[in-house]
């Protein structure tokens, strides 16, 4: 039986990136995956004949360029196509568009409010400043503020210095930005409901928070801090669907000699005398390695795949209380043609090239959250709808389209029990009806619909409650608190066991930073040469 230097559990994008960096450093790495396909939540799957569905994550921007370059992902077929802007359809028949072109964006905003069009410049400067600040910390390990180790103190000083460099005034702005709600933050700049609504969506996507919950302004960054071709804050589609990202990472891993085994779900992580030994697969087979890295979320890793007695009680308890909440669902739809949206002027570049939203007021946004708190799906949801096939012809047969609808809010359970099939249908209907209100021919074009509640996502991919970030992005679970205080440096409390999923700093999104950071820590512990880029301020 072959013994590996390291086993990575889960071939999601972070697991693959982690394995690739370890393999690049010369380690003999095996990545095991429970499904018969790789990619975790970054996949392109043919769920309807000749259609490729990005059926989980659907857009790409956060993937760190340093990782992209370092692993030479372009050589492995990854291509990102930037896309337009966004559009907000309004109940009164109007729309609010936002464009990549600043001139067009300003003109359109001014059509709704001159005041807001002017405020936007200030807003975007201020927000980008926060973005630049946080980008410094993405590819670094969070320091432990309670530690006296030179490495932690150095890192803490570095972090402190980055803040101090802002200067007094901007430092205060940063404190405020990191703690306030997205609604309050936008309220300081804008006066028009639809414009605020359009911008507020990014503050709640993937979280179990409402736009009025303090801390949601920060979540904005998780949607702004990426870049496509050096354009900070812009978004793109991976050509061929999100599976292209995973395939490219897998290609990189294999080019460094790493192995991938699919259909090899892990049943148990084997521990002896507080030292990891390897993994036992569901098939009963055992594979040994001195290092095991888990790409699974922390609840799944420690509560499902380990023995409670192998973990410190306080750690186990914190993991049990780790907040990883199902708050969003997904509809993947095959369309017979491009639906029309009569609110948009003929020939509008927004059709098919923008994120479409069908909600136009802050009150509706927040009420959608109230439904979730009551243990049910939003009857009037926030939908982030894209049609990637409009810019990527490889996804569908010619003339046909693929529509991805990210839906918030959608609980993992209905009032504490499993979803019934009637409820799934009602959830699907609430999404389709909302879109039909703005597109009369939409319903007739539908060929196939895949509905995914958080429970479905958990069942298929394994993420607890289908939480896209592997854990809430609240202050108590960020930076040195992520996943839990004292264990934010990718090391589990068992020797040789590491975490590399989005439950760790800096969190979710197809960013691959947690995987890369974990690899750096592993190489540090093994005293191997670091292969992981550690950028500091590429801005």
Residues making contact with other proteins (CB under 8 A): 145-146, 163-164, 166-169, 171-173, 175-177, 179-180, 184, 187-188, 209, 212-215, 314, 321, 323, 363, 366-367, 370, 373, 474-476, 480-481, 485-486
In terms of CB distance, is 311 or 516 closer to other proteins? 311
Torsion of CA 108, 110, 113, 116, to 10 degrees: 100
Beta carbon of residue 487, minimum distance to other proteins (angstroms, whole number): 10
CA pair distance 257, 248, nearest whole angstrom: 14
The answer to whether 474 and 215 are in contact (CB under 8 A) is yes
Beta carbon of residue 177, minimum distance to other proteins (angstroms, whole number): 8
Paired with 293 in beta bridges are: 8, 498
CA pair distance 367, 384, nearest whole angstrom: 17
Beta carbon of residue 215, minimum distance to other proteins (angstroms, whole number): 4
| Angle 317-323-326 from CA coordinates, rounded to 5° | 135
In terms of CB distance, is 268 or 361 closer to other proteins? 361
In terms of CB distance, is 457 or 478 closer to other proteins? 478
Beta carbon of residue 221, minimum distance to other proteins (angstroms, whole number): 15
Report strand pairing: 6-9 vs 291-294.
Answer: parallel
Beta carbon of residue 95, minimum distance to other proteins (angstroms, whole number): 24
Closest CA to 253 of 517, 509, 22, 502: 22
Beta carbon of residue 129, minimum distance to other proteins (angstroms, whole number): 14
CA pair distance 460, 96, nearest whole angstrom: 36
Count Cα atoms within 13 angstroms, Cβ side, for 408: 27
In terms of CB distance, is 181 or 301 closer to other proteins? 181
In terms of CB distance, is 404 or 477 closer to other proteins? 477
In terms of CB distance, is 180 or 522 closer to other proteins? 180
Beta carbon of residue 244, minimum distance to other proteins (angstroms, whole number): 36
Report strand pairing: 401-408 vs 45-48.
Answer: unpaired
Residue in the structure block whose two tokens are 């804008």: 190
Beta carbon of residue 171, minimum distance to other proteins (angstroms, whole number): 4
In terms of CB distance, is 77 or 145 closer to other proteins? 145
- The verdict on whether omega for the bond into residue 361 sits within 30 degrees of 0, i.e. cis, is no
Beta carbon of residue 173, minimum distance to other proteins (angstroms, whole number): 6
Q: Residue 288: is it exposed, middle or buried by C-beta count within 10 angstroms (0-12/13-18/19+)?
A: middle
Closest CA to 16 of 40, 34, 52, 36: 40
Beta carbon of residue 381, minimum distance to other proteins (angstroms, whole number): 17
Q: What does the block give as tokens for 493?
A: 């409390």
In terms of CB distance, is 457 or 473 closer to other proteins? 473
The answer to whether 91 and 360 are in contact (CB under 8 A) is yes
CA pair distance 441, 259, nearest whole angstrom: 47
Per the rule left: phi > 0, alpha: psi between -120 and 50, beta: everything else, 432 is: alpha
In terms of CB distance, is 132 or 367 closer to other proteins? 367
Residue 87, φ and ψ in degrees, nearest 5: -140, 140
In terms of CB distance, is 36 or 169 closer to other proteins? 169
């Amino acid at each position: 039986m072959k013994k590996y230097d390291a086993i990575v559990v889960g071939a999601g994008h972070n697991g693959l990136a982690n394995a690739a960096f370890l393999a690049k450093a010369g380690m003999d790495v095996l990545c095991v995956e429970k499904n018969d396909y790789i990619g975790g939540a970054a996949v392109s799957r043919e769920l309807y004949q000749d259609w490729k569905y990005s059926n989980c994550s659907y857009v790409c921007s956060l993937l760190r360029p340093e990782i992209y370059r370092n692993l030479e992902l372009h050589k492995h077929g990854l291509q990102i196509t930037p896309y337009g802007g966004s559009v907000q359809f309004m109940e009164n028949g109007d729309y609010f568009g936002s464009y990549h072109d600043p001139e067009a964006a300003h003109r359109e905003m001014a059509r709704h409010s001159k005041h807001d069009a002017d405020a936007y410049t200030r807003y975007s400067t201020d927000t980008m400043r926060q973005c630049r600040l946080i980008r410094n910390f993405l590819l670094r390990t969070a320091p432990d503020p309670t530690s006296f180790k030179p490495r932690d103190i150095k890192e803490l000083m570095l972090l402190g210095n980055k803040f101090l460099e802002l200067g007094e005034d901007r430092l205060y702005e940063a404190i405020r930005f990191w703690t306030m709600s997205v609604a309050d933050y936008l309220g300081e700049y804008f006066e028009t409901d639809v414009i605020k609504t359009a911008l507020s969506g990014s503050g709640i996507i993937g979280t179990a928070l409402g736009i009025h919950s303090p801390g949601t302004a920060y979540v904005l960054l998780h949607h702004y801090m990426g870049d496509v071709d050096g354009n900070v804050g812009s978004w793109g589609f991976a050509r061929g669907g999100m599976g292209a990202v995973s395939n490219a990472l897998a290609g990189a891993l294999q080019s460094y000699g790493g192995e991938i085994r699919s259909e090899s779900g892990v049943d148990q992580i084997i521990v002896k005398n507080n030292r990891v030994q390897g993994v036992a697969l569901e098939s009963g087979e055992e594979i040994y390695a001195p290092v095991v890295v888990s790409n699974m979320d922390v609840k799944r890793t420690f509560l499902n795949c380990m023995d409670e007695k192998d973990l410190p009680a306080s750690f186990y308890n914190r993991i049990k209380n780790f907040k990883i909440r199902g708050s969003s669902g997904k509809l993947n739809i095959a369309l017979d043609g491009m639906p029309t949206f009569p609110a948009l002027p003929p020939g509008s570049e927004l059709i098919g090239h923008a994120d479409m939203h069908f909600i136009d007021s802050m009150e509706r946004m927040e009420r959608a959250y109230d439904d979730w708190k009551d243990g049910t799906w939003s009857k009037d949801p926030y939908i982030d709808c894209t049609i990637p096939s409009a810019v990527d012809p490889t996804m569908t047969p010619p003339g046909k389209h693929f529509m991805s609808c990210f839906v918030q809010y959608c609980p993992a359970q209905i009032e504490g029990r499993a979803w019934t099939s009637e409820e799934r249908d009602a959830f699907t209907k609430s999404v389709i009806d909302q879109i039909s209100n703005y597109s009369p021919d939409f319903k007739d074009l539908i060929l196939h619909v895949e509905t995914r509640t958080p429970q479905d996502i958990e069942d298929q991919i394994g993420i607890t409650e289908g939480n896209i970030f592997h854990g809430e992005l609240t202050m108590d679970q960020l930076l040195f608190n992520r996943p839990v205080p004292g264990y934010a440096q990718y090391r589990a409390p068992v020797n040789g066991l590491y975490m590399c999923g989005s439950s760790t700093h800096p969190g979710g999104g197809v960013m691959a930073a947690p995987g890369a950071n974990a690899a750096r820590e592993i190489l540090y512990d093994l005293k191997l040469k670091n292969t992981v880029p550690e950028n500091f301020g590429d801005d």
